[in-house]
Homo-oligomer: A and B are copies of this chain.
Amino acid sequence: MSHTFTLRVYYEDTDMGGIVYHANFLRFIERARSEWVRDLGNDQNAMRDAGLVWVVHRIEADFRAPGRFDDVLTVRTEVQAVTPARLTLQQVVYRDEVELFRAQVTVVCMTTEGKPVRLPAEIRALLQ
């Protein structure tokens, strides 16, 4: 299962190096995760009203090539593993065929008070 999300690089995303500020790749891949779960049928507002939120637990990120102003970038998101406790994704950002950024992201579910909980069964079902 693979999900594709496209975005444009704006002025706000760049830094004085003339390229995308490194931490903004984490923003880009979170946008992709939000679009992906919505496409799957997971409404994060409803989930939140029910007292649960997604929380990033760990990220391993490789910065391979710079992104630039006006670039159209694609984020490809793939599920690597789903356990009762956590979801591991691979997310890669491309400009055309060039890989700019690659991350392995582990997310967990928590109550809005910050207590870790199992992934809800209906969400695990959506993911499979």
Contacts and interface: CB of A to CB of B under 8 A. Distances in A.
A18 B61 CA distance: 25
Contact of A27 (B10, B14, B16, B55): B10
Interface SS of chain A: helix, strand, loop or mixed? mixed
Contact of A12 (B21, B44, B63, B68): B21
Interface residues of A, number: 40
Interface in A1-34: 8, 10-12, 14-19, 21-24, 26-27, 30-31, 34
Interface of A: 8, 10-12, 14-19, 21-24, 26-27, 30-31, 34-35, 38, 43-45, 53, 55-63, 66, 68-70, 112, 114
